[in-house]
């Protein structure tokens, strides 16, 4: 890079970081300004503009606030007090945002529950929410009942969209229809401070049951503003929202891009790859949030004239893999991609401001002192950061993989870690005496590497990386390599134990196009990956199991392994001499008794 290019890049980063920092610098833990105060101020400045765009019409900022006020008065009428929790079990709809906004006006905390859960997993989330009341939709009644069967639910249910509420349940629409639309007295929340809880969100549950994470008003306001500042949003912007509103990426970061600066949110019930560009065009969207495999789903759809005639100027999200980044941006003519890294409950945040393909963010070396992020050298055997003879950890060198950790500072909004409701789970995420005695750092559980210019690149989740043939295998890097082969629509890579072998052998669960060239895939893998990283087993699925935010679930896949008696999908074994051969019971037995060597 030439001198002028270098100076131009650094000036751009300094200017953008200063601008973004100014936008959130007012958010302080001890402040009396809470999320509802911030949102009421926004409403007052944009009351006549549309805030939600729906199939049945637009909702203005004033109408949004009036609905939230009715919710607040309803909560007071129910005897709910500041600090009490109400669970929201709803699909995407504009009222979702108005509900938690209204409850926050009187200090009530909303627990945002994944509407895709059923049975034991839903019962778990409801139980740990601490809620005495749940607001839900009619179409989710069966799911709610399945959870109640598990735990003998004692929550008071209130239904939206019901002509007649079930026996013992409340009709929420009818209940708030008669409530006043004026703002409740601020006295109901006057004793609260920005460090206090506003919402409860849940971890994604990719590796086990979800954990509840209280989000302080500081964190909520930070999320609502940071990305609207990053993409320089304004009243003319329209955010196309297909991500679930119970998650921070869609429900706070994406919502904030729209409403924090007078823009509008186009709320869609769910993501549809086939309808996506038609609806983006129809509603004149200028922004959209992506996550996980959403971009790969879009890339696998047939060409659509609408994809060449849209107003999208920036997309924001995380999980856009390097293997499709350039192709995605070129095909859909996306001017700017703002990839970011963060966790709902975590204190580590990175943003890629200049759309560098594959990077999840950048911290220029000369600005490291302004951030709390470090990469700690990592031991794959113990799955812990490396400690030297002095007992302290070592920072990873440029190009070296390390675990991303964030220094905890309770006095800085950006660097706080509120933890989970479960104290033991909270303790597991804190690393102490890291670089000096007495310091404390949040463990992200994510492995990354950083180049000399300060760009960060995601490598894998701790626990997903496994050992095979005395080498470390990154599931993420293997999945990216496989994903570059034509016809691979989704690739979920993990390690499975094989009797008689140390470590774990690689296995890839794939969703592929019709008439897929399996032999061609093997040739591609053998050319793209070293021997130790090549999947030994291939599983062909009709669809992958993902979370509501398109993250792959691997726990069940790992448990099922490669046993053809357990796995009903087609299984293939990479034979050194014959290529991929069907994995039948006889071959499975031969592998496990040592007759067939890997």
What is the DSSP secondary-structure string of 563-582? -TTT--S-EEEEETTTEEEE
Q: What is the CATH number of domain 31-345?
A: 3.40.50.12780
Distance CA 82, CA 75 (A): 10
Identify the residue whose tokens are 């929410």: 129
Please name the fold of domain 464-592. Answer: GMP Synthetase; Chain A, domain 3 (3.30.300)
Q: What is the pTM of this model?
A: 0.82
Q: Which of 416, 349, 371 is nearest to 193 (CA)?
A: 416
Distance CA 88, CA 567 (A): 36
> Which pair of structure tokens corresponds to residue 113?
């529950």
Q: What is the CATH number of domain 1-30+360-460?
A: 2.30.38.10
The predicted structure's pLDDT at residue 333:
96
Q: Which of 318, 149, 128 is nearest to 205 (CA)?
A: 128
pLDDT, one tens digit per residue, over 375-433 is: 999 987 788 999 999 999 999 999 999 999 999 998 887 888 888 878 888 898 999 99
Q: Which of 199, 220, 232 is nearest to 31 (CA)?
A: 220
Q: Which residues of the chain have pLDDT under 70?
A: 204-209, 292, 545-553
Shared fold status for 31-345 and 464-592: no
> Which pair of structure tokens corresponds to residue 337?
């991609």
pLDDT, one tens digit per residue, over 551-590 is: 666 778 888 999 999 999 999 999 998 999 999 999 999 9
Rg of the chain, C-alpha, whole Å: 25
Distance between first and last Cα of the chain: 46
Identify the residue whose tokens are 């093997």: 522
Are 279 and 240 in contact by the 8 Å Cβ rule? The answer is yes
Domain boundaries, the chain: 1-30+360-460, 31-345, 464-592
pLDDT, one tens digit per residue, over 87-107 is: 999 999 999 999 999 999 999
> Which pair of structure tokens corresponds to residue 398?
């440029």
Are 212 and 111 in contact by the 8 Å Cβ rule? The answer is yes
Distance CA 339, CA 337 (A): 6
Kindly report the backbone phi and psi dihedral angles of residue 518, in degrees, each rounded to the nearest multiple of 5, phi listed first: -70, -40
Distance CA 544, CA 549 (A): 13
Are 496 and 466 in contact by the 8 Å Cβ rule? The answer is no
| Residue 341, Cβ density class (10 Å: 0-12 exposed, 13-18 middle, ≥19 buried) | buried
Burial state string for 192-203 with b = 16 or more CB within 10 A and e = fewer than 16: bbbbbbbbbbbb
Are 348 and 372 in contact by the 8 Å Cβ rule? The answer is yes
Strand-pair category, 505-512 with 537-540: parallel
Distance CA 157, CA 137 (A): 10
Are 288 and 310 in contact by the 8 Å Cβ rule? The answer is no
Distance CA 395, CA 389 (A): 15
Q: Which of 223, 343, 330, 334 is nearest to 291 (CA)?
A: 343
Distance CA 496, CA 62 (A): 55
Distance CA 366, CA 368 (A): 6
Query: Could you tell me which residues are beta bridge partners of residue 474?
Result: none
The alpha carbon dihedral of 257, 258, 263, 266 has a sign of positive
> Which pair of structure tokens corresponds to residue 355?
């759309």
Distance CA 86, CA 156 (A): 10
The predicted structure's pLDDT at residue 411:
83
The predicted structure's pLDDT at residue 199:
97
Distance of CA 72 to the CA centre of its chain: 29
Distance CA 144, CA 124 (A): 12
């Amino acid at each position: 890079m030439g001198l002028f290019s270098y100076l131009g890049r650094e000036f751009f980063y300094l200017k953008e970081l200063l601008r973004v920092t100014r936008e959130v610098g007012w958010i302080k833990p001890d402040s009396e300004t809470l999320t509802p105060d911030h949102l009421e101020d926004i409403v007052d400045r944009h009351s006549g503009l549309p805030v939600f765009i729906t199939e049945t019409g637009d909702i203005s900022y004033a109408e949004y606030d009036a609905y939230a006020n009715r919710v607040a008065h309803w909560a007071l009428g129910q005897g709910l007090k500041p600090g009490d929790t109400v669970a929201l079990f709803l699909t995407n709809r504009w009222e979702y945002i108005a509900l938690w906004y209204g409850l926050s006006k009187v200090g009530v905390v909303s627990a945002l529950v994944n509407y895709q859960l059923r049975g034991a997993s839903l019962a778990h989330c409801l139980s740990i929410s601490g809620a005495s009341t749940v607001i839900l939709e009619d179409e989710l009644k069966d799911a709610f009942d399945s959870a109640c069967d598990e735990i003998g639910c004692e929550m008071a249910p209130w239904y939206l969209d019901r002509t007649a509420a079930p026996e013992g349940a409340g009709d929420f629409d009818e209940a708030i229809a008669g409530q006043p639309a004026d703002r409740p007295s601020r006295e109901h929340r006057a004793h609260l401070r920005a460090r206090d809880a506003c919402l409860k969100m849940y971890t994604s549950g990719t590796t086990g049951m979800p954990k509840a994470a209280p989000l302080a008003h500081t964190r909520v306001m930070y999320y609502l503003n940071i990305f609207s500042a990053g993409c320089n949003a304004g009243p003319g912007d329209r955010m196309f929202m297909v991500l679930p509103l119970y998650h921070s990426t869609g429900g706070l970061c994406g919502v904030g891009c729209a409403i924090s600066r007078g823009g509008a949110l186009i709320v869609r019930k769910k993501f549809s790859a086939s309808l996506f560009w038609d609806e983006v065009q129809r509603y004149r969207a200028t922004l959209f949030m992506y996550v996980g495999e959403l971009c790969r789903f879009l890339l696998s759809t047939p060409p659509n004239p609408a994809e060449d005639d849209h107003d999208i100027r920036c997309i924001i999200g995380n999980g856009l893999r390097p293997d499709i980044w350039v192709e995605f941006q070129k095909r859909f003519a996306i001017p700017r991609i703002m990839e970011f890294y963060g966790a709902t409950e975590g204190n580590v945040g990175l943003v890629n401001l200049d759309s560098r393909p594959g990077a999840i963010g950048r911290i220029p070396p000369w600005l490291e002192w302004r951030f709390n992020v470090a990469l700690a050298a990592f031991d794959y055997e113990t799955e812990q950061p490396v400690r030297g003879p002095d007992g302290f950890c070592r920072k990873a060198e440029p190009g070296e993989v390390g675990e991303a950790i964030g220094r905890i500072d309770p006095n800085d909004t950006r660097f706080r870690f509120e933890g989970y409701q479960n104290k033991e789970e909270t303790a597991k995420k804190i690393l102490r005496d890291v670089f000096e005695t007495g310091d404390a750092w949040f463990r992200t559980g994510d492995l990354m590497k950083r180049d000399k210019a300060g760009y960060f690149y995601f490598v894998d989740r701790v626990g997903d990386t496994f050992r095979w043939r005395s080498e470390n295998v990154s599931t993420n890097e293997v999945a990216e390599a496989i994903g570059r082969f034509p016809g691979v629509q989704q690739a979920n890579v993990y390690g499975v134990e094989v009797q008689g072998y140390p470590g774990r052998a690689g296995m890839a669960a794939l969703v592929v196009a019709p008439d897929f060239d399996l032999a061609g895939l093997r040739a591609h893998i053998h050319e793209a990956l070293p021997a130790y990283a090549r999947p030994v087993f291939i599983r062909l699925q009709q669809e992958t199991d993902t979370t509501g935010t398109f993250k792959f679930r691997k726990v069940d896949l790992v448990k099922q392994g490669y046993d053809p008696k357990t796995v009903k999908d087609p299984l293939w074994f990479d034979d050194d001499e014959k290529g991929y051969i069907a994995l039948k019971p006889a071959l499975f037995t031969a592998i496990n008794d040592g007759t067939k060597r890997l």
